Chain A
Amino acid sequence: MSERWWIKGGAVYDPANGVDGEARDLWIEGGKIIDPPADRSAFAPRILDARGLVVMPGGIDIHCHIAGPKVNAGRQMLPETRREPALERRGGFRSGTIGHSPTTFATGYRYAGLGYTTAFDAAIAPLSARHAHLEFANTPCIDKGCFLLMGNNHYVMEAVRDGDSARLRNFMAWLLRAGGGYAPKLVNPGGIENWKRGREGSHTDLESIVDGFDVTPRAILAAAAQASHELQLPHPLHIHCNNLGLPGNWTTTLATMQLLEGMRGHLTHIQFHSYAGGEADETTFGSRVEPLVEYFNAHSNLTVDVGQILFGATTSMTADSAVGHYLSRLAGTRWHSHDIELETGCGVSPIEYKERSVVHAWQWAIGLEWFLLAADPWRIALSTDHPNGGSFTSYPRIIRLLMDSAFRREELEKLPPRVRERTALRSLSREYSLGEICIITRAAPARMLGLAGKGHLGVGADADVTVYAPHGDRELMFQLPRHVLKAGERVIWDGELVGAPEGETLSVAPEYDRGADSGITRWIDEQCSIRAANYGLAVRPE
Chain B
Amino acid sequence: MTPPQRQRWLDVACGFCGCACDDLNVDVEGGRIIGIENACESARGSFLAGEVPADKATDFSIVGEPVGYEQAVSRAADLLTEAEAPFIYGLTRMTSEAQCAAVELADRIGGRIDTPAGLFCPALGTPLQQSGVSSCTFGEVRQRADVIVFWQCDPERTHPRFRKRYCPDGSVGPGAGGSRGAFVICVGDPGTKTATKADQVLPVSRGREYEAAGVVRGLIAGHEMGESAVFDQTGVSLAEWKLLAERLRTCHYGVIVCEERQAGLSDWSNRYDAAAVHQLAIDVCNRTRCSVVTLRGPGNPVSAEMVFTWQTGFPCSVDLVAGYPRYGPAEFSLERSIARREADLVVIVGEDWDHGLESICGRLGSVPWILIEDRAWADLPARPAPTIRIRTAAFGVATPGTLFRADGVPLPLPRLLESPFPDAGRVLADMLARVARATPTAGGEP
Contact = CB atoms under 8 A, between A and B. Distances in A.
B224 to A, nearest CB: 24
A130 B140 contact: no
B309 A534 contact: no
A311 interface: no
Given A91-B446, A94-B311, A335-B282, A82 B327 contact: yes
Interface in B245-274: 252-253
B107 A95 contact: yes
B420 interface: no
Interface of chain B, main secondary structure: mixed
Contact of B313 (A69, A99, A341): A99
B168 interface: no
Interface in B420-445: 441, 443-445
Contact of A334 (B132, B253, B306): B132
B125 A79 contact: yes
Interface stretch (B46-54, B77-85, B226-234, B409-417): B409-417
A539 B291 CA distance: 31
Nearest to A106: B313
A138 B320 contact: no
Contacts of A211: 176
B325 interface: yes
Given A76-B314, A335-B132, A341-B140, A526 B410 contact: no
Interface in B79-127: 96-97, 100, 104, 107-108, 110, 125-126
A89 B110 contact: yes
B324 A86 contact: yes
Contacts of A83: 326
Contacts of B414: 540
A87 B324 contact: yes
Given A103-B313, A138-B311, A538-B412, A92 B131 contact: no
Nearest to B108: A89
A198 B315 CA distance: 31
Interface in B32-89: none
A529 B137 contact: yes
Nearest to B405: A530
B364 interface: no
Among A88, A95, A138, A333, the one with the most B-chain Cβ atoms within 10 Å of its Cβ is A95
A131 B410 CA distance: 6
A138 B144 CA distance: 35
A353 interface: no
Interface in A324-351: 325, 328-329, 333-342, 349
B288 interface: yes
B402 interface: yes
A134 B96 contact: yes
A135 B308 CA distance: 11
Contact of A213 (B13, B174, B307, B325): B174
B136 interface: yes
A531 interface: yes
Contact of B325 (A71, A97, A135): A97
Contacts of A75: 309-310, 313
B137 A127 contact: yes
A212 B172 CA distance: 13
B137 A339 contact: yes
Given A95-B107, A138-B100, A527-B173, A198 B288 contact: yes
Contact of A529 (B142, B282, B310, B313): B142
B175 to A, nearest CB: 8
Nearest to A195: B289
A103 B410 contact: no
Contact of A94 (B23, B104, B134, B306): B104
B359 interface: no
Contacts of A138: 100, 310-311
Given A103-B313, A529-B137, A531-B23, A198 B446 contact: no
A464 B126 CA distance: 41
B367 interface: no
A92 B289 contact: no
Contacts of B210: none
B311 A104 contact: yes
Given A86-B324, A95-B324, A198-B253, A77 B128 contact: yes
Interface residues of B, number: 76
Interface in B355-411: 400, 402, 404-405, 408-411
B166 A338 contact: no
A455 interface: no
A300 interface: no
B170 interface: no
A89 B311 CA distance: 12
A103 B312 contact: yes
A89 B324 contact: yes
Contacts of A538: 411-412
A196 B309 contact: no
Given A79-B327, A334-B132, A534-B412, A154 B173 contact: yes
Interface string A484-499: 0000000000000111
Interface string A173-214: 000000000000000000000001110000000000001110
Contacts of B307: 134
Given A96-B324, A339-B291, A130 B410 contact: yes
B400 A542 contact: yes
A212 B325 contact: no
B285 interface: yes
Given A105-B311, A534-B13, A540-B414, A95 B173 contact: no
A224 B130 CA distance: 40
B409 A127 contact: yes
B330 to A, nearest CB: 13
A78 B411 CA distance: 27
B134 to A, nearest CB: 5
B411 A69 contact: no
A434 interface: no
Given A105-B311, A127-B409, A197-B252, A340 B137 contact: yes
B293 to A, nearest CB: 11
A95 B132 contact: no
Nearest to B126: A76
A339 B446 contact: no
22 contacts: A72-B309, A76-B128, A79-B129, A95-B107, A95-B312, A95-B323, A96-B325, A97-B314, A103-B311, A130-B412, A154-B174, A196-B289, A198-B176, A198-B288, A333-B132, A334-B132, A339-B289, A349-B132, A527-B143, A528-B139, A529-B409, A531-B22
Nearest 3 A/B pairs, CB to CB: A341-B139, A92-B443, A529-B139
Given A86-B326, A134-B310, A334-B128, 5 more contacts: A88-B323, A94-B311, A158-B174, A530-B409, A530-B411
Interface of A: 67, 69, 71-73, 75-79, 82-83, 86-97, 99, 103-105, 127-128, 130-131, 134-135, 138, 154, 158, 196-198, 211-213, 325, 328-329, 333-342, 349, 497-500, 526-534, 538-540, 542
